[in-house]
């Protein structure tokens, strides 16, 4: 009995020291082109999957606009810089996120969330997971179009062909804002109002660099059979060798990396960059792959 009486206070003390289990880190999701925050077969499915696998987690699937239709339309037509500002405001006023959060972007949502990391460090983004994001942009094609938006994409193709870097197109067409033409590098650097800015093409913003380097991990997923993104290596921050559109180079051979304009070289050497490949076309992956490969970065 004496031994039992002694053990009780010890166990109670241990309980006080350990405290309650740590709450799961919140997750912020940003959908891709032609999608919406809560589509039951895309972002809604992902949100439920994460909530099932990580009980108690708070998941914010970003909606840009007052309803799902506006959210989808804004993925084509709302200035990306305005979208990023709107998201920064949403995150700053959400009490669930004040201690920090993980972020997961799908397709263009990947580079948009990177802009959030670079421009809006409060609340802090801890890990950034980019699933099919085009961090060096995309060019040519638009071979496929998501959802029921084929007529919109037909119009976008024609508009981009006519003048992706004109002021009117840049300010009102989302896809033009990360359009990167390797045959028109000077036009891109001078006139791209979004991607050229966050990729430090016109000068070094030390705040962008400092904020991105604060990430614990920057995970980039490339779809190995991607027919939608040209070039697919953009999903790993690579691109075409300048001045032509056939030969591609990896991130480590780009001037962005060699000059370390974003801190990616330093992050790479520190083990903060993670390059993942998955078999399949753009945004095509299995639940098993997601569970085994992506969930560990959220737990």
Domain boundaries, the chain: 27-297
Active-site residue, 282 included: yes
The first and second tokens of residue 268, run together, are 């790479």
Q: How far is CA 47 from CA 26, 53, 56, 62, 72, in A?
A: 12, 10, 12, 11, 17
The answer to whether residue 145 scores a pLDDT higher than 80 is no
**How large is the average pLDDT for residues 26-44?**
95
Candidate list 71, 226, 230, 260, residue with the active-site label: 226
The answer to whether residue 142 scores a pLDDT higher than 80 is no
- pLDDT at residue 159, rounded to an integer: 75
Q: How far is CA 106 from CA 51, 80, 179, 188, 203, in A?
A: 18, 15, 17, 24, 28
Candidate list 31, 135, 180, 282, residue with the active-site label: 282
What does the alpha-carbon distance between residue 79 and residue 197 come to, in Å, rounded to a whole number? 14
Burial class of residue 178, CB neighbours in 10 A (0-12, 13-18, 19+): buried
Architecture of domain 27-297: 3-Layer(aba) Sandwich (3.40)
What does the alpha-carbon distance between residue 254 and residue 229 come to, in Å, rounded to a whole number? 19
- pLDDT at residue 249, rounded to an integer: 96
Candidate list 42, 75, 107, 130, residue with the active-site label: 107
Active-site residue, 226 included: yes
Q: How sure is the predictor about 8, in pLDDT bands with cuts at 50, 70 and 90?
A: very low
Count CB atoms within 10 A of the CB of residue 224: 11
pLDDT digits (tens, 9 = 90+) for 89-139: 999 999 999 999 999 999 999 999 999 999 999 999 999 999 999 999 987
pLDDT over 90, % of the chain = 77
| DSSP structure string for 223-242 | ETT-SSSSSGGGGGT-EEPT
* Nearest Cα residue to 114 out of 87, 150, 95: 87
What does the alpha-carbon distance between residue 153 and residue 144 come to, in Å, rounded to a whole number? 8
Q: How far is CA 4 from CA 13, 17, 114, in A?
A: 14, 20, 56
Q: Are β-strands 125-131 and 217-223 bridged in parallel, bridged antiparallel, or unpaired?
A: parallel
Q: Helices 108-119 and 206-213 sit at what angle, rounded to 10 degrees?
A: 110
Asked whether 134 and 234 are in contact (CB, 8 A), the reply is: yes
pTM: 0.88
H/E segment holding residue 189: helix 185-191
- pLDDT at residue 6, rounded to an integer: 37
- pLDDT at residue 7, rounded to an integer: 38
Active-site residue, 122 included: no
Asked whether 199 and 136 are in contact (CB, 8 A), the reply is: yes
Q: How sure is the predictor about 23, in pLDDT bands with cuts at 50, 70 and 90?
A: confident
């Amino acid at each position: 009995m004496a031994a039992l009486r002694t053990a009780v206070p010890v166990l109670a003390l241990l309980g006080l020291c350990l405290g309650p289990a740590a709450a799961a880190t919140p997750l912020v999701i940003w959908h891709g082109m032609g999608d919406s925050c809560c589509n039951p077969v895309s972002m809604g499915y992902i949100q439920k999957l994460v909530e099932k696998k990580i009980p108690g987690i708070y998941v914010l699937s970003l909606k840009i606009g007052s309803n799902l239709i506006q959210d989808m339309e804004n993925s084509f037509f709302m200035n990306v810089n305005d979208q990023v500002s709107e998201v920064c405001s949403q995150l700053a006023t959400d009490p669930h996120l004040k201690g920090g959060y993980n972020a997961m972007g799908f397709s263009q949502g990947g580079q948009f969330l990177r802009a959030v990391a670079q421009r809006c460090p409060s609340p802090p983004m801890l890990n950034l997971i980019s699933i099919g994001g085009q961090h060096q942009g995309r060019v040519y094609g638009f071979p496929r179009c998501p959802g029921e938006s084929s007529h919109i994409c037909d119009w976008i193709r024609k508009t981009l062909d006519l003048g992706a870097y004109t002021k009117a197109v840049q300010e009102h067409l989302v896809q033009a804002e990360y359009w990167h033409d390797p045959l028109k590098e000077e036009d891109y650097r001078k006139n791209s109002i979004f991607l050229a800015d966050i990729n430090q093409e016109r000068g070094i913003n030390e705040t962008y660099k400092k904020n991105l380097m604060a990430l614990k991990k920057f995970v980039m997923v490339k779809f190995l059979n991607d027919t939608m993104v040209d070039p697919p290596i953009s999903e790993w921050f690579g691109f075409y060798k300048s001045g032509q559109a056939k030969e591609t180079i990896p991130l480590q051979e780009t001037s962005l990396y060699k000059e370390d304009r974003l801190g990616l070289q330093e992050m790479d050497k520190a083990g903060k960059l993670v390059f993942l490949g998955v078999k399949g076309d753009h945004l095509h992956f299995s639940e098993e792959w997601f569970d085994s490969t992506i969930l560990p970065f959220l737990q």
